[in-house]
Chain A
Amino acid sequence: MSEKKRILIVDDESALTMLVKLNLEKTGRYEVREENHAIKALAAAKAFKPDLVLLDVMMPDLDGGDVLAQLKGDPQFKDVPVVFLTATVLKEEVDKKGGSIGGYPFIPKPFRGEVLLDRIEKMLPPQPAASASGSAPARDPRQPRNPEARRREDRNPSRGG
């Protein structure tokens, strides 16, 4: 039985986070935690230790870009993949927001479930079933060969896209 990937979704729209959680958990492959207050995002990440973070761009207290900066400032989450969700329409606004959205993928709202899943799966390839003997899973050749990296291997195969 493969382990469920943990996904943290940060968005002030509670009905939306509820529905994303329902739809993602329905696949049986993910466990989702919702956080509707950007200010609490970092604390939620520390408690939940997500494999991937879905981040809304425009929120009342902090922008998605600010939350991203907080996460990346913490060594624990430096390599956690992030996907932005945005209702933004204009490219200028997209570029303006946080400045660091460039380089991270974003999904425009409204999005279909399969688009979301597709993006998540690109960034978190499903693990081949680990045998009971605990043999090491296949290593992503792009990851540096070092002890720290190996520990994080199964969490963070790649980012960007």
Chain B
Amino acid sequence: MSSAPIKVLLVEADPVDAHGLLYAIERKRAEEALEKSEAFYHSLVESLPQNIFRKDLDGRFTFGNGRFCAEIGRPLEELVGKTDAGFFPPDLAAKYRADDLRVIQTGKSFEVVEEHVTPHGEKLYVQVIKSPVYDAAGRVIGTQGIFWDVTEKYRAEEHLRKAYAELAAKDNELVHTMSALKHSHEELIQAQLQLIQVEKLESVGRLAAGVAHEVKNPLAILVMGLEYLAGACAAPVDSKADGDPPAAADGTVATVIQAMRDAVERADAIVRGLVDFSANRQLDLVAQDLDAVIARSLLLVKHELTNAHVTALHERSAHDDPAGEPALPCVTLDTIKAQQVFVNLFMNAIYAMPAGGRLTVRAYAKRLTKLERETARDEGSRQAERFRAGDEVVIVEVDDTGTGIPPDKLAKVWDPFFTTKPTGRGTGLGLPVTRKIVELHDGMITIANRDVGGARVTLMFHAARAVT
């Protein structure tokens, strides 16, 4: 029972039916409640900032809130009963109808952000939610739509999407560029290796003549040995001539055979040394004993040394422990390329000593002090950047007693095609290529005149990490 007083209109008549009066009162109350409810709904719908509308099953508008009406620019009376076709371009109207039908048929609402053209022709982006409307019995009797302008938000998102796509494209480009750069770099390394090989073949030509010489002595030994043995086999032991001592078949024959064996091994080593040296191979880095590489390089140029009357002295590390451990730490090297470095340096030294002299090679281990490293860097050598104070290094010094390098030429020796040799002799690529090889080994090379005369080439390599 409501607390509000009920106004009753007294009408002269027959005695009133009590049920009928009660019914009328109840009904009045329900109507008022309904009015209130509708008023509430109405004010809500009208005050929201969204566009709200309703349509029946045929797509005819049954309602539109004030905002929606303002949006399409028509009063409510003109809206109700019309379809989308009355307000929107045909394809748009068709699309809306299709959407409505989907909602009606599936009974499910859908939400979307879509392009919207106002009747004035303005293009916006709106977020739309369309849902089915049910009657009391639960049957779909129409659709309800609510939409609002999200143009700014949409545009911002579009902008972001675009920026992202651009970034992705740039990233792609970057990946391609990196890949191309990597490829380029590999080609460059190959070109450098080619050049290194070409320079090496230059010296192989010279060394080959030396090898031919060096092989002739072993061959001469073999020929003489064979003749002796042939004679020893043919002649019985007791045949003597002119009081000669007997052939002493056993002792002498054994000596001769051993001399021949040694000769064969020597010849083989020399030839194989050159063949290996001239092979064209990719960089193959292996931790190894630098003294062994130096020794083999000296063997390769043995003939050149003899020819020029240059004595070679290979000073081995002083603290050699005969019990086994070599004093010199291993260095990671490509054997053939390292030989190429030494062959080049030895040939240069020999060339600097036209009247003969001495070539001294020594390798020793060291731990770099800060001062040494700073000094190297001050000399303007970029290579010094590869080393740090405290690094374990192996240093090689190649000394000659030759003419030295004129101070004005000292800086130029590294320039490609700079050479002091007469035209036709030497390419001027020896030192630049040598330095390149040293770089490939992460090392450093410098050259300076010695106080006692002649020049010194100093090489520095990182000691290889100890491997058990």
Interface, chain A (partner B; CB < 8 A)? 1, 4, 13, 15-16, 18-20, 22-23, 25-26, 28, 58-63, 85, 87-90, 108-113
Question: Is there an interface contact between A88 and B213, defined as CB atoms closer than 8 Å?
Answer: yes
| 5 A-B pairs in the complex with CB atoms less than 8 angstroms apart | A15-B259, A28-B244, A89-B209, A108-B216, A110-B224
Interface of A is mostly: loop
Interface, chain B (partner A; CB < 8 A)? 209, 212-214, 216-217, 219-225, 227-228, 231, 241-242, 244, 247, 252, 255-256, 259, 262-263, 305-307, 309, 311
Question: Is there an interface contact between B309 and A15, defined as CB atoms closer than 8 Å?
Answer: no
Q: Give chain B residues whose Cβ lies under 8 Å from the Cβ of A1.
A: 242
| Cross-chain contact of A18 among B212, B214, B242, B259 (Cβ < 8 A) | B259
Q: Give chain B residues whose Cβ lies under 8 Å from the Cβ of A111.
A: 220, 223
Q: Cα distance A93–B231 when bound, in Å?
A: 35
Question: Is there an interface contact between B311 and A60, defined as CB atoms closer than 8 Å?
Answer: yes
Pick the most buried of A4, A25, A60: most chain B CB atoms within 10 A of its CB.
A60
Interface of B is mostly: helix
Question: Is there an interface contact between B223 and A89, defined as CB atoms closer than 8 Å?
Answer: no
**Number of A-B pairs, beta carbon distance below 8 Å:** 81
Question: Is there an interface contact between A110 and B220, defined as CB atoms closer than 8 Å?
Answer: yes
Question: Is there an interface contact between A58 and B306, defined as CB atoms closer than 8 Å?
Answer: yes
Assuming A23-B224, A58-B306, A60-B306, what are 10 further A-B pairs, CB within 8 angstroms?
A: A13-B217, A13-B220, A15-B259, A16-B220, A16-B224, A60-B309, A87-B217, A87-B220, A110-B222, A113-B227
| Cross-chain contact of B256 among A19, A60, A87, A108 (Cβ < 8 A) | A19
Question: Is there an interface contact between B221 and A112, defined as CB atoms closer than 8 Å?
Answer: no
Question: Is there an interface contact between A19 and B262, defined as CB atoms closer than 8 Å?
Answer: no
Question: Is there an interface contact between B209 and A26, defined as CB atoms closer than 8 Å?
Answer: no
Q: Cα distance A158–B217 when bound, in Å?
A: 29
Q: Give chain B residues whose Cβ lies under 8 Å from the Cβ of A16.
A: 217, 220-221, 224
Question: Is there an interface contact between A58 and B307, defined as CB atoms closer than 8 Å?
Answer: yes
Pick the most buried of A13, A90, A109: most chain B CB atoms within 10 A of its CB.
A109
Q: Cα distance A108–B222 when bound, in Å?
A: 14
Name the CB-closest residue of B to A2: B242
Name the CB-closest residue of A to B266: A15
Q: Give chain A residues whose Cβ lies under 8 Å from the Cβ of B305.
A: 60
Name the CB-closest residue of B to A86: B216
Q: Cα distance A70–B302 when bound, in Å?
A: 26
Pick the most buried of B220, B221, B227, B231: most chain A CB atoms within 10 A of its CB.
B220
From residue A160, how far is it (CB to closest CB) to chain B in Å?
24
Which A-B residue pairs are the 5 nearest by beta carbons?
A87-B216, A19-B224, A110-B220, A110-B219, A28-B241
Q: Give chain B residues whose Cβ lies under 8 Å from the Cβ of A19.
A: 221, 224-225, 228, 256, 259
